[in-house]
């Protein structure tokens, strides 16, 4: 590719392409990614980078899988599109069967969407209508956690717990309320920080407290990620989800496991609730279902929630034109075939300890305060002082994270995320095909760049 072509791509991007969650201006030209192969991506100059974020927690089976592209082409020739509005297609039927077979308990009813935010939106709407149909019309509120991200549609945004993402779009859909998250590194006191099980009970009981405060007759659902993404990968403490399940049952509140990121092997099982031993009433999922080769999402609900709609007359008056798109469904089926044939879930389970131990080598750096996560999903919290856990000021976050780290890590050959939606973190979620060679490369690049970053404080 010639320099003039490279320049043209940059100019065309600046002139017409509006990036998502992106800054724009005369001094900003986004990198142009042209292809991927395995765990690597390549830009328009031919330079290679390790994809340390699987695109955006998406490309589970790696880039450049011919069989996924071929599945899309084959289905497009047979039936490129037809909606699921009172009709069905063979790929959507088969995919619903596969997802139901992998889901826990009696989560057998699959409602397809185009992506994760739509799946979350669908789950809240289902919860509201379910309780209206079953004689509890006041139950409409949702409890979620501080700093949690659940999507950008107006309803999902109300469930999201990140104030800065919401203030420009207020007033939001009413009914979203917050409880504390499970960041034990920032536990409210030393006693809780020293006892993970006690901290888990404390955090879960804050959900019960929120339900009581709002009024149990008004709360419809609790939305929780198995491992919370925003803020930097907060795993659940021991006993946490067991207690949350008890609380939801006690107050007749639905437990929604938001697995848009955590499903499809990211933690080690097809659905991450299985990794942590709980059965929700609803699972929301998307990203890894097709490994990003075609967009799709789903809300998977229990038979109990479907029952009021199974009477020949009642309709869930909700849907999306491209939900369960036949091409996307065919790609998802081929993606799940790869999971089974290559044993990717078992690979994550067996290899995750090595990923953790490799990242934990970074504890010898003065800027690394905490390394946390599960499976192939990790956050590294950055601090000014390891002893006091002092975090960055807003000005330091602007200078260190956005002004230096985001660019420096990419320039060093690693695509990942420097994030400060909570405290400053580096987020990592490589493709599930990775192994020790990729773990070592991630650690070595992080070591060099974080050493430079600390010198700038």
Residue 260 lies in a domain: yes
CATH code (residue 315): 3.40.640.10
Cβ atoms 250, 207 nearer than 8 A: no
Residue 88 lies in a domain: yes
Task: Specify the pLDDT at position 420.
Answer: 85
Please tell me whether residues 160 and 290 are part of one structural domain. yes
pLDDT at 68 over 70: yes
Please tell me whether residues 429 and 291 are part of one structural domain. no
Residue 170 lies in a domain: yes
Please tell me whether residues 200 and 302 are part of one structural domain. yes
Distances, alpha carbon 290 to alpha carbons 71, 149, 239, 344, 388, in Å: 11, 21, 32, 14, 43
Q: Is 258 helix (H, G, I), strand (E, B) or coil?
A: strand
Please tell me whether residues 240 and 354 are part of one structural domain. no
Query: Of 283, 313, 342, which closes a domain?
Result: 342
Residue 2 lies in a domain: no
Residue positions counted in the chain: 457
Please tell me whether residues 37 and 152 are part of one structural domain. no
Q: What is the mean pLDDT of the segment spanning 324-338? A: 98
Look at the chain and report how many structural domains it folds into. Answer: 2
pLDDT band with cut points at 50, 70 and 90 for residue 3: very low
Please tell me whether residues 335 and 362 are part of one structural domain. no
Residue 97 lies in a domain: yes
Dist CA 283 CA 289 (whole Å) = 13
Please tell me whether residues 114 and 229 are part of one structural domain. yes
Query: Of 308, 342, 376, which closes a domain?
Result: 342
Residue 4 lies in a domain: no
Query: Of 342, 368, 391, which closes a domain?
Result: 342
Please tell me whether residues 328 and 444 are part of one structural domain. no
Residue 266 CB contacts under 8 Å (≥ 6 apart), including other chains: 57, 60, 272, 288, 348, 375, 376, 377, 429, 432
Please tell me whether residues 281 and 379 are part of one structural domain. no
Please tell me whether residues 315 and 364 are part of one structural domain. no
pLDDT tens readout for residues 91-139: 999 999 999 999 999 999 999 999 999 999 999 999 999 999 999 999 9
Residue 350 lies in a domain: yes
Residue 313 lies in a domain: yes
pLDDT band with cut points at 50, 70 and 90 for residue 305: very high
Task: Please report, rounded to a whole number, the percentage of residues in the chain having pLDDT higher than 90.
Answer: 91
pLDDT tens readout for residues 36-48: 999 999 999 999 9
CATH code (residue 383): 3.90.1150.10
| Sheet of strand 417-419, all strands in order from the earlier edge strand to the far edge | 368-374, 377-382, 425-428, 417-419
Please tell me whether residues 115 and 182 are part of one structural domain. yes
Please tell me whether residues 394 and 263 are part of one structural domain. no
pLDDT tens readout for residues 386-410: 999 999 999 999 999 988 999 999 9
pLDDT band with cut points at 50, 70 and 90 for residue 2: very low
Instruction: Give the range of the structural domain holding residue 16, as residue numbers without chain letter.
Output: 9-64+343-456
pLDDT tens readout for residues 245-295: 999 999 999 999 999 999 999 999 999 999 999 999 999 999 999 999 999
């Amino acid at each position: 590719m010639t320099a003039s072509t490279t320049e043209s791509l940059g100019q065309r991007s600046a002139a017409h392409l509006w990036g998502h969650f992106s800054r724009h201006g005369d001094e900003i030209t986004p990198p142009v990614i042209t292809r991927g192969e395995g765990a690597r991506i390549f830009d328009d100059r031919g330079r290679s980078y390790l994809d340390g974020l699987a695109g955006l927690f998406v490309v589970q089976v790696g880039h450049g899988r011919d069989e996924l592209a071929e599945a899309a082409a084959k289905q497009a020739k047979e039936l490129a599109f037809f909606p699921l509005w009172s009709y069905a297609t063979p790929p959507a039927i088969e995919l619903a069967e596969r997802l139901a077979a992998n889901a826990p308990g009696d989560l057998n009813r699959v409602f397809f969407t185009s992506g994760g935010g739509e799946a979350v939106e669908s789950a809240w709407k289902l919860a509201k209508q379910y309780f209206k149909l079953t004689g509890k019309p006041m139950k409409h509120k949702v409890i979620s956690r501080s700093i949690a991200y659940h999507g950008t549609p107006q309803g999902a945004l109300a469930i999201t717990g990140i104030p800065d993402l919401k203030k420009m779009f207020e007033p939001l859909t009413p009914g979203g309320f917050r409880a504390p998250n499970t960041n034990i590194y920032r536990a409210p006191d030393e006693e809780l920080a020293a006892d993970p099980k006690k901290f888990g009970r404390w955090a879960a009981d804050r959900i019960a407290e929120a339900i009581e405060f709002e009024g149990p007759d008004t709360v419809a659902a609790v939305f929780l990620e198995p491992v919370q993404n925003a803020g930097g990968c907060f795993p659940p403490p021991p006993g946490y989800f067991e207690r949350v399940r008890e609380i939801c049952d006690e107050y007749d509140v639905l437990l929604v496991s938001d697995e848009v990121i955590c499903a499809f092997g990211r933690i080690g099982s097809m659905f991450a609730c299985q990794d942590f031993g709980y059965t929700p009433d609803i699972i929301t999922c998307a990203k890894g279902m097709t490994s990003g080769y075609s967009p799709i999402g789903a809300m998977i609900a229990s038979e109990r929630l479907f029952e009021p709609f199974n009477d020949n007359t009642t309709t869930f008056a909700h849907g999306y034109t491209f939900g369960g798109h036949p091409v996307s469904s065919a790609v998802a089926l081929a993606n799940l075939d790869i999971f089974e044939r290559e044993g990717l879930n078992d690979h994550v389970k067996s290899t995750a300890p090595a990923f953790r131990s490799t990242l934990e080598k970074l504890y010898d750096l003065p800027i690394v305060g905490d390394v946390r996560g599960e499976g192939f999903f990790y956050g590294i919290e950055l601090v000014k002082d390891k002893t006091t856990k002092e975090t960055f000021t807003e000005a330091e976050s602007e200078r260190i994270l956005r002004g230096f780290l985001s660019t420096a890590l990419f320039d060093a050959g690693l695509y990942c995320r420097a994030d400060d939606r909570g405290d400053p973190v580096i987020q990592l979620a490589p493709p599930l095909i990775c192994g020790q060679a990729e773990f070592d490369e991630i650690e070595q690049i992080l070591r060099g760049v974080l050493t430079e970053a600390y010198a700038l404080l």
